[in-house]
Amino acid sequence: MMILQNAILELADDNLILGHRVSEWCGHAPILEEDLAMPNMSLDMIGTARTLYAYAAHLENKGQTEDDMAYLRDEREYLNCLLVERPNGDFATTMLRQLYFAAFMEPYWQAALNSTDDVVRGVAGKAAKEMAYHIRHAGEWVIRLGDGTDESARRMKTAVTDLAPYVDELFQSSAAAKAAEDAGILPVRADMRAAWDKTINHIFGLAMLNPQEDTFAQSGGRQGLHGEGLGHILAVMQSINRAHPGAVW
Amino acid sequence: MYSQGLIGADGSSDETPEFLEAFQKRIDAEEKIEPNDPMPAGYRRTLVRQIGQHAHSEIVGMLPEGNFITRAPSLKRKAALLAKVQDEGGHGLYLYSAAETLGVSREQMTDELLSGKAKYSSIFNYPTLSWADMGAIGWLVDGAAIMNQIALCRCSYGPYARAMIRVCKEESFHQRQGYEIMIELCRGTPAQKQMAQDALNRIWWPSIMMFGPHDGDSAHSEQSMKWKIKRFSNDALRRKFIDATVPQAEYLGLTMPDPDLRWDEDKQSYEHGPIDWTEFWNVVKGHGIMNVDRIKARQKAHDDGAWVREAALAHAAKRNARKEAAE
């Protein structure tokens, strides 16, 4: 059960941490329409995380809740991939990060519709639709910015370079994920590569962007080995909850 | 969420007495005025100013609550707060659109907000200092705004009145959500209850100031009432709000921060103690603790986003040019 729990926590942490990052934009976006769109995307991901945390807590069977999972684990216990914790940077970086994540998660959740696990299938049904929309939304921005002004094209290229090291980790399965994949509970991560390449190549073509070649790929998130940004996310996110142990909100 | 009771109507007019009389007849007959209808210039100017201020209040109002999105103490509260702040932005979008029907653009209105020419509700110039502020803002600030906005659903200008119907439904949900946060805190640990009391102590007076100056000191209210842009006086709405809110505070077991507050048996209503109007006018004039930071945050979002907006326009132009070339 611990193994499945860790595999579920990886997915939950990815969604919560990226949902948190995107929520940092709320009230500070370039146009009002994006002030509305970004909380929406954030809500999709936090919603997915909540169901998965509740499931992980259920698997542990110690009376824990979704909030215990989110608020009472430290940096080394968080299992998200490195891509989702990357700082927002500028709007180009945020949109590219969202595109990379959604272009992975959409086929992943589609495949998870065939999971042997009821909860995973349930999450997948909703999340696959949401991720298809995120691809469309973020993809359209990547195209606009890549093929917009000289400045926006320059920023988009910088974002491609900056995020390139964090792509490969999406396709790597930890020992926990492999066990869940072997049991037919979760889809095989490496199998999403072709669909991801197809989505990104199509959008990059329209955005006049070239994929980054020859990058050193970073990894470690699934072992709780993160960059320095995650600690600050958790420090902020968990502060009130941890200041009042046992309180109900 | 918005209410300030400060907007005086612009009654100056070049129109003929016959035109003004015919317009007033339509108003008196409770007909809705629509964008293409003839209307006095003062009526148009008053509405542009009022709807613009209302829209700006929604947009600036995203900031104090946005301050707790990343710190919300449970995932359920985080999701609800995000959805709430998103609703406020949505109200802003609605209202800018309603104002645009009167011939002013969102860009113009945004410039006026950033330059300080246009105002927004002073309540947002107070800082949010604890999680309980998320409860108290929903309960009191949205509660006060609803009192004003329910009346605006019957405003004589059609697009504004219709926008207010949906806005009120959402605000009413926010108000109940805020009160529910307060209930949970007041049922909680002593520290949580103390947090709730402290939020009430800080937010109570600013929230009853949201109704604006006393009727006797409220300039030009009469013309707004005559045009049915405004339906009730500042004091009448304030009284209604206090009468509804005091029993809610009692239910929570919280103490109202007004030692002079008392029930008047004859009026069947509460009498409140003196309001510190010096503080109110200080904040209106820009000396609230958050005035400068709020506008700086809006200015920064505007400046940082300029290249994005330029790129979107440039891309649209390129796409159109390609389409034309292909045809």
Whether A66 sits inside 8 A of B75 (CB atoms) is yes
pLDDT of residue B327: 85
Residue of chain B whose Cα is closest to the Cα of A29: B301
pTM summary value:
0.95
Is residue B180 predicted with pLDDT exceeding 90?
Answer: yes
Which of residues 30 through 59 in chain B touch A, CB cutoff 8 A? 59
Distances (CA, A) of B66 to A24, A67, B128, B135, B175: 9, 20, 10, 13, 17
Integer Cα distance of A241 and A237 in angstroms:
8
Q: What is the mean pLDDT of chain A?
A: 97
For residue B9, the model assigns a pLDDT of: 66
Over residues A128-135, the mean pLDDT reads 98
Q: Give the pLDDT score at B7.
A: 59
Which pLDDT does position B219 carry in this prediction? 66
pLDDT reading at B221 higher than 80? no
Preferred mutation among B114, B307, B309, B323 to probe A, highest tally of A CBs within 10 A: B307
Q: Is the pLDDT of residue B4 over 90?
A: no
Domains of chain A, residue spans: 2-243
- Our CA-based measurement puts residue B72 at a distance from the nearest CA of chain A, in whole angstroms, of 7
pLDDT over threshold 90, residue A102: yes
Name the helix (H) or strand (E) containing B91: helix B75-100
Q: Do B312 and A20 touch (CB under 8 A)?
A: no
Give A151's pLDDT tier (boundaries 50, 70, 90): very high
Q: At what angle do helices B143-152 and B234-252 cross, to 10 degrees?
A: 140
CA dist., res. A156 & res. A137, Å (int): 16
CATH class of the structural domain A2-243: mainly alpha
Q: Does A27 touch chain B (CB under 8 A)?
A: yes
Contact A30 B305 (CB under 8 A): yes
Q: Looking at the predicted structure, is the pLDDT value of residue A173 above 60?
A: yes
Asked if the model's pLDDT at residue B93 lies above 60, the reply is yes
Which pLDDT score is estimated for B280? Answer: 93
> How high is the mean pLDDT of chain B?
94
**Which pLDDT does position A1 carry in this prediction?**
62
Residues of A in contact with B305 (CB under 8 A): 29-31, 91
Q: Examine the pLDDT at B3 and tell me if it is beyond 60.
A: no
CB atoms within 10 A of CB B251: 12
**Are B82 and A147 within 8 A, CB to CB?**
no
Res. A167: pLDDT tops 80: yes
**CB interface of B with A, residues 284-303, below 8 Å:** 297, 300-301
Which residue, among A18, A28, A74, A77, has the nearest Cα to A48 in the 3D structure?
Answer: A18
- Three-state secondary structure call for residue B270: strand
Q: What does the pLDDT look like over B123-161, one tens digit per residue? A: 999 999 999 999 999 999 999 999 989 999 999 999 999
State whether B315 and A42 contact (CB < 8 Å): no
